[in-house]
Chain A
């Protein structure tokens, strides 16, 4: 996109005249609004790193079937609550390629607990492109190729196992698909709602504006989690996984749109009084065209910021609701669903690795916040 901010084009021309001989500066003054933003964004190292890492996270979500060493639903009773295997380098004093020791199950009669020990005699080297559990890649074709893992029939549990002996690491990778996408879909829905309602509010003004603004204030004063809880409790348990997923995004958007709507309205009200909008009006341009052609490009960047900062909230809300068994339910895998196992304090004490999904949630939320901050600084490239 190379929409130029109409407001700045005159300034650009003025400045360029006096600085023709300085190539770099000329480039700077001729650059479009979006190019300037991109440059400014690149200055924000933390935000750039966050964008890159988030990209990785989403790639992992897309290709989780290949990346996960096991199928997320493959049970192994002999490995119920098996602790994470540590990766070793040295076997009997010799440096080897990374390997793990297989787990052997014992039953502790005193504690009536399953305990595990390492079978030190049998190192299992971690290899690339191994055959393992079969899966259907993107639901298209069947294969059993995994990016890394141990020999077929053996299990590699980097982050331990759950009650049914399923690999937590693979489940977290599969869970990222739902947890990461639900934020995007939810934000998209709230964006649509927010733009339409906020646009109507700012464009028409007057009575409609007052009513909509009051309504938004009221909606924002209801604590969101109880409202979300009540809404998700209304989703019938019998519905299919896909329907429930869609319902959750709608529920998340139900409150999420208010922030977008406020931003849109505020910007429209501010920008319509700008000189260039007044000039366009004086030149006889129709109101709707002024809105779409001149006002919307002016606040698109701010919308992107609002949206980026809204995504982590949605991811957290999904996690919290699923954690409370009010959102997605097994067999759907999401980070919140995985955390249901960790709700029990006893379980957390005995099997602390069950809270691993929290680390992923926190990381993604942190990255989105960093990214949003960087975007916010870049969104106003003319600020100095």
Chain B
């Protein structure tokens, strides 16, 4: 087991390296750099732009160096000093800007996963045990619709309905708490607001998970051991929960890792619609302003969180399912 974990952790290093190269390349793609945008903005506001100042800034930020050098400066800052560089647009270190937002994004993602499981597993079990009954069809249809509605549209619709009933659903905090330091009251306020994005984000994942759970459990219910247990006189509930459900949940454990990329993706757009204080709007602004360090840091951290999430779910899966551990020995 330990060998398996060590191997997987070591494998993360090249993965993260390639991701960082991809992210850096993508971030560099826009023509020009931040300073050209900055100069255009200044020009539009009527201020004269001194070429020397721009040139000095370019040297200061290392924008005159070739790409590999810039990449090295960027990545070594992150890895060695935890320094994500300077946000050009906000004139502040990137780290100051992102941690709280990343924390909120991760919180929303975590609560969404828990929420998805709580809803989807029982419905999946119910659907499988009531196969081809009306309720099964109803849940299947709902699942299809849930899969087809993109999160941001659901957010729009939900906002529309909620405001009709006079509910305050925008944002993650009430106005009083937006810039307040963390306190008990602020946490409570957060919980009062967080359910909207959580529901919106959970719908798609729940629909998918219900289908997987239903299919897995149906496969298990056909197994001879179920018949044997039933013949032995085990009560239906105990029979269901003790063996087939446990086996059926196993493969789903591995899907947590796969849920993360889509959750982060979805949360970005939902956050734009609901104007949440998460990474979404900040990333969007950064990309619009060509604020390269800021955007790069955020994509990089979201990707890293995804990789770590996948690792954790893989380890969890190997822990509950010994076959996987043995497989990794033989290969």
Contacts of A56 in B (CB 8 A): none
The verdict on A324 contacting chain B, using a C-beta distance below 8 Å, is yes
Tier of interface size on chain A: 35 or more
Contact of A225 among B31, B269, B307 (CB under 8 A): B269
The verdict on B229 contacting chain A, using a C-beta distance below 8 Å, is no
Knowing A221-B303, A233-B30 are in contact, say whether A348-B144 is a contact too (CB < 8 A): no
Q: Are B29 and A234 in contact (CB under 8 A)?
A: yes
The verdict on B26 contacting chain A, using a C-beta distance below 8 Å, is yes
**Chain B contacts to A: CB under 8 angstroms:** 14-15, 18-19, 22-23, 26-27, 29-31, 144-145, 147-150, 152-153, 156-157, 159-160, 163-164, 170, 260-262, 264-266, 268-269, 272-273, 275, 283-284, 287-288, 290, 295, 298-299, 302-303, 306-307, 310
Q: Are B261 and A320 in contact (CB under 8 A)?
A: no
Q: Are A222 and B22 in contact (CB under 8 A)?
A: yes
Contacts of B27 in A (CB 8 A): 230
The verdict on A352 contacting chain B, using a C-beta distance below 8 Å, is yes
Q: Are B287 and A225 in contact (CB under 8 A)?
A: no
Knowing A230-B299, A343-B273, A366-B148 are in contact, say whether A218-B18 is a contact too (CB < 8 A): yes
15 A-B pairs with CB atoms under 8 Å apart are: A214-B14, A218-B18, A221-B261, A221-B303, A222-B23, A225-B269, A227-B299, A230-B287, A231-B26, A342-B156, A345-B273, A362-B150, A365-B150, A366-B145, A369-B147
Expressed in whole angstroms, the minimum distance between the Cβ of A210 and any Cβ of chain B is 12
Q: Are B30 and A343 in contact (CB under 8 A)?
A: no
Contacts of A227 in B (CB 8 A): 22, 26, 299
Q: Are A226 and B265 in contact (CB under 8 A)?
A: yes
The verdict on A229 contacting chain B, using a C-beta distance below 8 Å, is yes
Q: How far is the CA of A221 from the CA of B12 in the complex (A)?
A: 11
Chain A 336-368 interface residues, beta-carbon cutoff 8 Å to B: 342-343, 345, 348-349, 352, 355, 358, 361-362, 365-366
Contacts of A214 in B (CB 8 A): 14-15, 18
Knowing A324-B272, A370-B144 are in contact, say whether A349-B160 is a contact too (CB < 8 A): yes
Contacts of A370 in B (CB 8 A): 144
Q: Are B18 and A215 in contact (CB under 8 A)?
A: yes
Q: Are A355 and B157 in contact (CB under 8 A)?
A: yes
7 smallest A-B Cβ distances: which pairs? Answer: A225-B265, A234-B29, A233-B287, A366-B148, A223-B264, A358-B153, A365-B148
**Chain A contacts to B: CB under 8 angstroms:** 214-215, 217-227, 229-231, 233-234, 236, 312, 316, 319-320, 323-324, 326, 342-343, 345, 348-349, 352, 355, 358, 361-362, 365-366, 369-370
Q: How far is the CA of A230 from the CA of B268 in the complex (A)?
A: 13
A-B interface pairs (CB < 8 A), number = 129
Knowing A320-B269, A355-B156 are in contact, say whether A222-B299 is a contact too (CB < 8 A): yes
Expressed in whole angstroms, the minimum distance between the Cβ of A370 and any Cβ of chain B is 7
Task: Please report whether the interface of chain A is mostly helix, strand, loop or mixed according to DSSP.
Answer: helix
Expressed in whole angstroms, the minimum distance between the Cβ of A35 and any Cβ of chain B is 29
Contacts of A342 in B (CB 8 A): 156
Q: Are B283 and A226 in contact (CB under 8 A)?
A: yes
Knowing A221-B310, A362-B148 are in contact, say whether A326-B287 is a contact too (CB < 8 A): yes
Q: Which residue from chain B places its CB closest to the CB of A366 in the assembled complex? A: B148
Q: How far is the CA of A222 from the CA of B260 in the complex (A)?
A: 10
Contacts of B29 in A (CB 8 A): 230-231, 234
Q: How far is the CA of A59 from the CA of B316 in the complex (A)?
A: 49
Contacts of B152 in A (CB 8 A): 320, 323
Expressed in whole angstroms, the minimum distance between the Cβ of A144 and any Cβ of chain B is 35
Expressed in whole angstroms, the minimum distance between the Cβ of A130 and any Cβ of chain B is 33
Expressed in whole angstroms, the minimum distance between the Cβ of A163 and any Cβ of chain B is 17
Expressed in whole angstroms, the minimum distance between the Cβ of A220 and any Cβ of chain B is 7
Knowing A316-B150, A345-B170 are in contact, say whether A229-B18 is a contact too (CB < 8 A): no
Contacts of B170 in A (CB 8 A): 345
Contact of B153 among A221, A233, A312, A355 (CB under 8 A): A355
Contacts of A218 in B (CB 8 A): 15, 18-19, 22
Q: How far is the CA of A108 from the CA of B295 in the complex (A)?
A: 44
Q: Are A222 and B150 in contact (CB under 8 A)?
A: no
Q: How far is the CA of A215 from the CA of B21 in the complex (A)?
A: 12
